[in-house]
């Protein structure tokens, strides 16, 4: 009787152990250095999707150098998901603009516009983009790929990198360089509000350098990833008027084309259906909406994402 009871207990123990469910799957999403919007928004997305998976997934937001590194790490399988700038991924998927090959990446979701601009300290004497000539200007971290949109932007205003001294720094570091006088101007941006611009406006008296309107209109006509964008008045300290800015390539969520359809379907579904939780963590989450999420910015969508968008009734058949 005792032996039978012990055997029964052992069977029950093994049965309970085997019903504990599947193990948590660990996944990674590449973002960018701290200071920019990618890092913060990527963290909001990973937290939201992890919570929505109810223990099935644990997604880590990894700080990286940005879009270029993210694309290469997707190709090697080091990342499952990544944040990207649409202007950079546009060229990467085509193997153009200095990329060594056409990268097999696909879009999951179009996120917030990446509104970027040059700022300077009040009293610097820099009033236009043409005034950057001969100055020291921060142009993003080395290897992040900012040149994909800065070079055409400068060319549209009659300048190139050779006309000033480019300083390569993260957005946090750029604010520090501007503050101590090591830089005359800084190129900063991301989803609005951008942490680095908030920091700069809070700690220094800054000026937003305006775009030439004719140059901006031509850039928008010539490149599919550029579009007009406005920073509303009072977004940043001392900004008492709307700023007529430029979206230099919307923030995107991308993945490798080889990623399995079910994983991308579930990721898209969990993110889109819990988008209110992203908004609570960062205002950029408002871009996850029926009009924008499935909007094409020049990179083909992954079949798993398309499957969800069609199921949700928001897939634009013009894509």
Each domain of the chain, given as residue ranges in start order, spans: 25-112+251-312, 115-247
48-77 pLDDT, tens per residue?
A: 999 999 999 999 999 998 899 999 999 999
Nearest to 134 by CA among 163, 174, 156, 177: 163
- How far does the chain reach from its first CA to its final CA, in angstroms? 71
pLDDT for the residue numbered 20 = 54
Contact of 236 with 117, CB cutoff 8 Å: no
Question: Into which CATH architecture does domain 25-112+251-312 fall?
Answer: 3-Layer(aba) Sandwich (3.40)
pLDDT over 70, % of the chain: 93
Going by pLDDT thresholds of 50, 70 and 90, the confidence category of residue 192 is confident
The CATH code of the domain at 115-247 is 3.40.190.10
Buried b (16+ CB within 10 A) or exposed e, 197-206: bbbbbeebeb
Buried b (16+ CB within 10 A) or exposed e, 159-176: beeeebebbebbbbbbbb
Nearest to 188 by CA among 173, 108, 279, 253: 173
Quick check: pTM over 0.85?
no
């Amino acid at each position: 009787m005792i032996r039978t009871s012990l055997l029964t207990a052992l069977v029950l123990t093994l049965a309970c152990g085997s019903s504990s469910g599947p193990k948590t799957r660990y996944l990674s999403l590449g973002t960018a250095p701290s200071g920019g919007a990618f890092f913060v928004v990527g963290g909001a997305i990973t937290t939201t999707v992890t919570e929505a998976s109810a223990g099935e997934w644990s997604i880590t937001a990894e700080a990286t150098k940005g879009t270029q590194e993210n694309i290469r790490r997707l190709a090697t399988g080091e990342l499952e998901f990544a944040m990207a700038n649409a202007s950079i991924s546009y060229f990467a998927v085509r193997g153009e603009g200095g990329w060594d090959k056409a990268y097999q990446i696909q879009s999951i979701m179009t996120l917030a516009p990446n509104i970027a601009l040059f700022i300077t300290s009040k009293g610097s004497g820099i009033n236009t983009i043409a005034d950057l000539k001969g100055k020291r200007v921060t142009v993003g971290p080395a290897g992040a790929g900012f040149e994909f949109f800065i070079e055409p932007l400068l060319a549209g205003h009659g300048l190139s990198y050779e006309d000033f001294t480019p300083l390569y720094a993260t957005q946090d570091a750029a604010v520090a360089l501007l503050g101590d006088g090591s830089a005359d101007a800084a190129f900063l941006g991301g989803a609005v509000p951008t942490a680095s611009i908030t920091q700069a406006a809070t700690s220094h008296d800054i000026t937003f350098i305006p775009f030439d309107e004719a140059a901006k209109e031509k850039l928008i006509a010539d490149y599919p990833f550029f579009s007009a964008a406005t920073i509303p008045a009072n977004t940043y300290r001392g900004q008492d008027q709307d700023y007529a800015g430029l979206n230099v390539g919307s923030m995107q969520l991308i993945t490798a084309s080889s990623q399995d359809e079910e994983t991308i379907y579930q990721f898209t579904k969990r993110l889109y259906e819990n988008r209110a939780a992203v908004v609570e963590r960062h205002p950029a989450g408002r871009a996850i909406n029926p009009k924008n999420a499935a909007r094409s910015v020049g990179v083909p969508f992954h079949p798993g994402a398309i499957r969800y968008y069609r199921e949700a009734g928001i897939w634009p058949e013009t894509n």
